[in-house]
A and B are shown apart, each in its own frame.
Chain A
Amino acid sequence: MAEPIIQLTGVNKWFGSFHVLRDVDLSVAAGERIVVCGPSGSGKSTLIRCINGLEEHQEGRIVVDGVELTDELGSVDRVRREVGMVFQQWNLFPHLTALENLTLAPTQVLKLPRAEAEERAREQLRRVHIERHADKYPGQLSGGEQQRVAIARALCMQPRIMLFDEPTSALDPEMVKEVLDAMLELAQGGMTMLVVTHEMGFARSVADRVVFMDQGRIVEQKAPREFFGNPEHERTRDFLAKVLPR
């Protein structure tokens, strides 16, 4: 196997006295699609937030695309340049239009000329089928539309890795599909993706591997067919019994 694009080794993290990540080892190859699932409070969001340095880990090593996340100046910046992130609550900038949301980072961080940044932004909006809303403010868009803008915003930085933190959990049911479709298209394009989600249908059809976490540990990681068909651990079976439709 080629050099992994994300490598976590013996990662531990505490929130105060709460041990939120315990000895996490995870290796992700370029182009791999990983779904992380588990009961709430199992540390899955914290895990992916550690990968772009939104949370700091206290023990172990995290190496992303050859750069280790350390205290050293610039290491977080270099990692964030390769990693895009989509949040549960979208977190679009409400004072900027959809297009301005997309051009902010390219003009500020990459110092692209405005025209070039806008061209790139329109292309990404087209990709998630939302180009006609370019000049609207986030408050004028539905939840599903906002989340697609958020995906396009992350893609404007041309990341090699995309992190999704429960991207459909805050959406009305009829909007979940349009966001999942956008993610599916992205997956088909060969993007490396880590997705925290309860959408088991998405895990089944898109993921190369499903990672199950409980109480800060990775309990089990398998290809979806095996994960759903033949879960090894009692806790995994428990969890699946609760989330899968009967």
Chain B
Amino acid sequence: MKRGRLSWSTRSGRALAWQAALLLLLVLCGWALASHAAGSLAERQIRTGFGFLGQRAGFDIGEGPVPYGPADSYLRAFAAGLANTLRVSLLGILLATPLGALVGLGRLSRNLLLRGLCGAWVEVLRNVPLVIQLFAWYLAITELLPEAASPLLLAPHVFLSKGGLQLPLPALAGGLSLELPEVTAFGVQGGLSLTPEFLALLAGLTTATSASIAEVVRAGVLAVPRGQAEAALALGLSRRQLVRKVLLPQALRVIVPPLTSQYLNLTKNSSLAVAIGYPDVVSIANTAINQSGQALECILLIMAVYLTVNLCTALLMNLYNRRVALVER
């Protein structure tokens, strides 16, 4: 096609003009917002900047893998919160994936009862708001379980009670050994201890996400043409071999992209931790805002954290996707 002059009467000329107009509008909006924010911050005499991160935080954090005390800085508090977010998200992803896959395959089973159960699992968990599910899990753990002094014995040296879950902790003290939890009059002591808050959040995120993953897996398997199953069965493969060797490898290329979205959702949904008092990064930022008044900075930090974590997750999943998607020709 012959290019005309750039003018309002050519297609390319108009396209360029619209782009320029849109850019101008964006710049104007940004400038207006920034100048307004700067004005009101100055009016209320709030100092902006991230300098407060070096100051003493002064509040306590209930749990977490990063050592932290009230005398530590805000920055360290944020790090502790981030570690808690990552801990629950990563474990949630690791548990929700196989659970979701099993439920999804169960919905395709020839067994009527199994199919019905898996269908009910999906419908209940994805139709009740997650925050309600978290309250339910938290109540179940803190109200229905026995007192910490007389815990349930789930397996040798594994205790479950209102005080949470206690497991043997591998320790590297002069060779590999296990630190075993003991039942005392004050509850279970020693070993690896998981709080009721952590357990409730993990259970809620895992089960709710497993319902969405189940649907993703089911859709992926159904996307494989019927002839594939017929060819495999005609060759004598069992149902299990059919699923493992023929259906799942082909379903994966349909499953992985929406599965990535579910992983990102799980990570973002972990911010509902604030509702049941688990100290994730949002909950820490909330406290930090109340104490320091640096709301803008804290919100920016939270956004940066989730953006970074989720972009990393998406990157990893895209790499994996490239591997499962490319083999075919």
Seen from chain A, the residues whose Cβ lies within 8 Å of a Cβ on chain B are: 52, 54, 77, 80-81, 83-85, 87, 89, 91-95, 104-105, 108-109, 137, 139-140, 150, 153-154, 157
Known: A104-B245, A139-B329. A91 touches B236 (CB 8 A): no
Known: A94-B328, A154-B235. A89 touches B227 (CB 8 A): yes
Cβ distance B284 to chain A, nearest Cβ, rounded Å? 45
Please measure, in the bound complex, the distance between the C-alpha atom of A95 and the C-alpha atom of B227, giving whole angstroms: 14
Please measure, in the bound complex, the distance between the C-alpha atom of A104 and the C-alpha atom of B238, giving whole angstroms: 12
Q: In the bound complex, do residue B236 and residue A93 qualify as a contact, i.e. CB atoms below 8 Å apart?
A: no
A150 contact set on B, CB distance < 8 A: 231
B235 contact set on A, CB distance < 8 A: 80, 84, 104-105, 109, 153-154, 157
Q: In the bound complex, do residue B230 and residue A91 qualify as a contact, i.e. CB atoms below 8 Å apart?
A: yes
* Count class of interface residues, chain B: 20 to 34
* CB pairs A–B below 8 angstroms (5 shown): A83-B234, A105-B237, A108-B237, A108-B241, A137-B328
Known: A137-B328, A137-B329, A140-B329. A91 touches B228 (CB 8 A): yes
Please measure, in the bound complex, the distance between the C-alpha atom of A40 and the C-alpha atom of B220, giving whole angstroms: 32
Q: In the bound complex, do residue A95 and residue B237 qualify as a contact, i.e. CB atoms below 8 Å apart?
A: no
Please measure, in the bound complex, the distance between the C-alpha atom of A70 and the C-alpha atom of B73, giving whole angstroms: 74
Please measure, in the bound complex, the distance between the C-alpha atom of A157 and the C-alpha atom of B306, giving whole angstroms: 53
| Interface SS, B side | helix
Please measure, in the bound complex, the distance between the C-alpha atom of A229 and the C-alpha atom of B250, giving whole angstroms: 49
Give residues of chain B (226-274) contacting chain A, Cβ–Cβ below 8 Å.
227-228, 230-238, 241, 245-246, 249-250
Known A54-B234, A109-B238; further 20 A-B contacts with Cβ < 8 A: A52-B234, A77-B236, A77-B238, A85-B231, A85-B234, A91-B230, A93-B232, A93-B246, A95-B250, A95-B328, A104-B235, A105-B235, A108-B237, A108-B245, A109-B235, A109-B236, A109-B237, A137-B329, A153-B235, A157-B236
**Interface check B327, CB cutoff 8 A:** yes
Cβ distance A107 to chain B, nearest Cβ, rounded Å? 10
Interface centre among A77, A94, A139, A140 (most CB of B within 10 A): A94
Please measure, in the bound complex, the distance between the C-alpha atom of A153 and the C-alpha atom of B231, giving whole angstroms: 10
Closest to B229 in A: A91
Nearest first, the 5 A-B pairs at minimum CB distance are A91-B231, A139-B329, A105-B235, A91-B227, A85-B234
Please measure, in the bound complex, the distance between the C-alpha atom of A137 and the C-alpha atom of B329, giving whole angstroms: 5
Interface centre among A80, A92, A95, A157 (most CB of B within 10 A): A95
Known: A80-B236, A108-B237, A109-B241. A93 touches B328 (CB 8 A): no
A77 contact set on B, CB distance < 8 A: 236, 238
Closest to B240 in A: A108
Cβ distance A66 to chain B, nearest Cβ, rounded Å? 17
Please measure, in the bound complex, the distance between the C-alpha atom of A81 and the C-alpha atom of B234, giving whole angstroms: 8
Q: Which among A80, A92, A93, A137 is the interface contact of B233 at CB below 8 angstroms?
A: A80
Q: Which among B231, B238, B329 is the interface contact of A93 at CB below 8 angstroms?
A: B231
Please measure, in the bound complex, the distance between the C-alpha atom of A85 and the C-alpha atom of B225, giving whole angstroms: 17
Q: In the bound complex, do residue B234 and residue A80 qualify as a contact, i.e. CB atoms below 8 Å apart?
A: yes
Cβ distance B226 to chain A, nearest Cβ, rounded Å? 9
Q: Which among B231, B238, B249 is the interface contact of A87 at CB below 8 angstroms?
A: B231
B231 contact set on A, CB distance < 8 A: 85, 87, 91-93, 150
A85 contact set on B, CB distance < 8 A: 231, 234
A52 contact set on B, CB distance < 8 A: 234
Cβ distance A69 to chain B, nearest Cβ, rounded Å? 13
Question: Contact mask B102-132 → A, CB, 8 Å, 1/0?
Answer: 0000000000000000000000000000000
Closest to A95 in B: B249
Please measure, in the bound complex, the distance between the C-alpha atom of A177 and the C-alpha atom of B154, giving whole angstroms: 67
Cβ distance B37 to chain A, nearest Cβ, rounded Å? 53
Q: In the bound complex, do residue A87 and residue B227 qualify as a contact, i.e. CB atoms below 8 Å apart?
A: yes
Cβ distance B242 to chain A, nearest Cβ, rounded Å? 10
Q: In the bound complex, do residue B233 and residue A54 qualify as a contact, i.e. CB atoms below 8 Å apart?
A: yes
A108 contact set on B, CB distance < 8 A: 237, 241, 245
B233 contact set on A, CB distance < 8 A: 54, 80
B245 contact set on A, CB distance < 8 A: 104, 108
